[in-house]
Amino acid sequence: MVTADGNKTLLAIVAHPDDETFGMGGTLALYASRGIRVCLICATRGEAGQALPGTMGSYTSLRDLREAELRCAAAALGITDMHFLGYQDSGMAGSESSRHELALVQIPLNILTRHLTDVIRWEKPQVVITHDPVGGYFHPDHIHLQQAVQAACLQAANYRWKGLGLDPWQIDRLFYNTIARGMLRWVVRLMPLFGRDPRRWGDNRDVDLTRILAADIPVHARIDYRVVARQRQAAVRCHASQGGARQERGMAGLLRGWSRSHEVFMQGYPQPEPGKVITDLFQNL
């Protein structure tokens, strides 16, 4: 598809349905609005999650519901192509779901890397975005997938690796979606004033915000998505089983981005210029 931006492609690679919206949805919608072809790889269908009461509707499995929610969100964001890798949601560390043989964390890194390499060669993106090295909030699936994406981006350019026989492809940039540390710092400070423990955040109280804050994840790109805020909000509403618009309010809303108008990224490839924060992932491409 020939686009206004010279046939450029942005490929987002995430672990679960809703990762594409809550963390990077504004960015995906922004580039889709600019004529960039936006593609998505989702490694699982979110089987290990939980659905809020009253959100299952006619669906008999959470897997089917969350896939439908993802397709709804993808349409709202302007995603044109989507792939499911077919693995299962591992849940958090130590959970029963993490021990399933098809759980994402159980897939050997070299196998997952090969799978992703072929998709990267097929889609031929200039820019790839995925989870940050600590998985945002130390989610095992996010961390495992990030490591595989990093390796796959290198392998895709290696002419010696044959895979499915597709031509080698060199991406221009790799970015990791992350949480704005400045905002997170304020949330950690404010939570005790409201009687909340920042070491036990989330519906299951299994996320330690102080541990996230201590992780050294620099910001190399800050994307202002205000011009497509309505598209992102529509995608948020698609994920009703995971809280939808509720996730955008209160402390959770603050953690989703800077004043709910920006999304931030660490640059994984090539080596970023020290101290520089860009405002366009496709800058000079």
CATH domain 9-181+218-269 topology: Rossmann fold (3.40.50)
Residue in 243, 248, 255 with CA at minimum distance from that of residue 213: 255
Q: What does the domain layout of the chain look like in residue ranges?
A: 9-181+218-269
| pLDDT per 10-residue tile (average), the chain, 285 residues | 63 97 96 97 95 93 97 98 96 90 96 97 97 95 98 97 94 96 85 89 82 92 96 95 71 55 95 94 95
pTM of the full predicted structure? 0.92
What are the DSSP calls for the chain, one per residue? ---TTSS-EEEEEESSTTHHHHTTHHHHHHHHHTT-EEEEEES---TTS-PPTT--TT-S-HHHHHHHHHHHHHHHHT--EEEE---B---STT-GGGGSTTBGGGS-HHHHHHHHHHHHHHH--SEEEEE-TTHHHH-HHHHHHHHHHHHHHHHHT-TT--TTSPPP---SEEEEEE--HHHHHHHHHHGGGGT--TTSBTTTT-B-HHHHHHS-----EEEE-GGGHHHHHHHHHH-GGGTGGGGGSHHHHHHTSBTTTEEEEEEEESPPPTT--BS-TTTT-
**How far out from the chain centre does Cα 164 lie?**
26
| CA–CA distance, 61 with 49 (Å, rounded to integer) | 11
**CB atoms inside a 10 Å sphere around CB 23:** 25
**How high is the pLDDT of residue 4?**
44
| CA–CA distance, 270 with 121 (Å, rounded to integer) | 18
